[in-house]
Structures are given as C-alpha cells and as structure tokens.
Amino acid sequence: MAGKWVIGMGLCAALAAGSAWAAQPSEALVRELMQVMNVPGQFTVMNNQMASMMSQQLPCVPATYWQNYIDKSGQEELLTAMIPAYQHHFSSDEVEGLIKFYKSPLGQKLVAQMPATMAEAAQSGQQWGRQRTSDMFADLQKQGKLDGQGRCPGTGGAQGQ
C-alpha cells in the first residue's frame, strides 16, 4: 500500500512539474561542467598514480606500458560513463550553477588547488592512520590479545585472527 502511495505521489509531482525529467541536465551540460571542473586533468593525475602503482607491483613490465592506462579513448569512456551519475544527482539548474561557480575566480582556484590540497590531506590521513593503528595495536597488546610482535598469541603468528 505504501509503495503505491509513493508511486502515486511521484506521478502527481511529475505531472505538476510538467515532467520530472525536464529538470535533468543534458549530456552536453554535464560535459561542460566536467570540463570546467578539469575532470580530464584529474584523469591524467589518476593515470600517473596508476602507472606508478602498477610499475611497483609489476616491475617486470616497463613503466612506459602503464603511461596510457587512461588514454584519450579511456578518458572519453570514463566521461561518458560518469554522465548518468551527474544527471541522477543534479538538476539542470544546479549544473548551470556549478558551471557558473567553477568559471568564477574562486571556482578556478579550487580546480587549480585541489590536487595539491588532496595530496596534503591524503598525507595527513595516512599519518593519522599509522598512528591510530599503532595506538590500537598497543592497546591490544596491553589487553593480551596480541603479543609483542603484533601477532595473535597461540595462532602460529597470524595477525588479526
């Protein structure tokens, strides 16, 4: 019964608005937003990070192999795959507002500074995580749940069991 009521209310709201889907941003509008947000530039950063990680994990593969992990074709595929998420979560008016913001001086500063900001924040998060893990291991050792080497006592040395 409740499901029918929700569907009925949704239908009424759609009819009252003319069409609930009319507010959905077009693909072109979402692509414009992605451009002013420098999403393709973020793909380049992601590509470099992926190449570095893969080179470390598979040193037998030349590092240059991974440099095209997200090539032009991959960028287009990723952009296209991301569009429905933006269309689902933002209306046309909201996307237009975001475009206006990202074209503003403050929006452009955000785009320019975000990679460095996120890198610094990630370092802080990693440092915090190492300290938190160390503190929790020390607490578990005090409780006798881990031995001096951070292993479960009496389990043949397996951690975290």
Q: What is the pLDDT of residues 80-115, one digit of tens each?
A: 999 999 999 999 999 999 999 999 999 999 999 988
Tell me the whole-structure pTM to 2 decimals. 0.66
Residue 4's pLDDT is what? 53
Checking if the pLDDT of 43 tops 90, the result is no
Helices 39-57 and 72-89: angle between axes, nearest 10 degrees = 120
Residue 110's pLDDT is what? 94
Cα three-residue angle 93-96-97, rounded to 5 degrees: 85
Question: What secondary structure letter does DSSP report for 62?
Answer: -
